Amino acid sequence: MGRLSGKIVVVTGAARGQGAAEVAALTASGARVIATDVVSDENCRYLDVRDPTSWAALAADLDRVDALVNNAGVASRGRLPHVDLATWDNTFAINVTGPMLGIQALVPLMPPGSSIVNVCSVAALSGHVAAAYTASKWALRGLTRSASLELGPRGIRVNAVMPGLIETPLMESASPAFRTAALAEIPLGRTGTVADIAPAIVYLVSDDSSYMTGAELVIDGGLTGHVSHKGIADAIAPATEGH
C-alpha cells in the first residue's frame, strides 16, 4: 500500500521528460494514473489541453478524480520586440488556458481532499527574456493563486511547483551559450533532473500536504536565490543587438 493508494490522478504532458517521470513516481506510490498527452504514445491517452471538447471527453470517462497535475507546457524563446503572434497565442493556450480548462472539466469530479498541481517555472519569479514563456508562467502562477481561493471551500488544494533548469526535451533545445551562462549562476553547480521534481509532485498529491494550498515550491538549485538573469540574457543576446 503506497501513500497514494486509491487515488486517481490525471497528468498532462505525460509522454516524455518530466511528465513521464511524474507518472512513474505517482504510480510507484500507489496511484492510478491517467497519463495524457497530445503526442502519440501507447502509454498515454490523447488529450489536447487547448481543446475544451478533449477535456470534456476525458471527464466523461471518469467517475472521480483525486488529483490533476497540469504538467503540459511549451517553451517559447522569442524576444521582444520580435515575438510572433501565433507563437504567443499558442504558448498561452498550452501553458495557461490548458490548466484552466482542466480545472473547469475535472473539479466537478473532485471530492474534498483533492489536489491540483500546476507545474510552473522559476520564469514566473523574475524577468526573463523569453517573453511569451515568461508571461505565460506568470499567468499560471496567478491562476494557481486564484484557484486556491475559489476551490479551498470545496476542500480542493491548488499549488504550484517552480522548477529551474531541468534536463528535459525542452531544455535540449536551449543554446550552448544559455546553458553555460545559466550553470554559472546555479549555486549547486548543476542542472536539475526529472528525479528532482517528481517527489514534490507526489508530496503535493498526497495527504501529507493536506494543509498546503496557494503555495509555490521552488526547485532550482538556488538559481533564484540571487539576482542573475540579466547576465544570462546578455550572454545569449543576438549579435545584432546593442548592449
Q: Assign 3-class secondary structure to 58-108.
A: HHHCCCCCCEEEECCCCCCCCCCCCCCHHHHHHHHHHHHHHHHHHHHHHHH
Cα–Cα distance, 56 to 53 (Å, whole number): 5
Give catalytic residues, as residue numbers: 133
Query: How is residue 83 written as a grid cell?
Result: 515575438
Buried b (16+ CB within 10 A) or exposed e, 20-44: bbbbbbbbebebebbbbbbeeeeeb
Could you give the C-alpha distances from 227 to 181, 187, 236, in angstroms and in order? 13, 12, 17
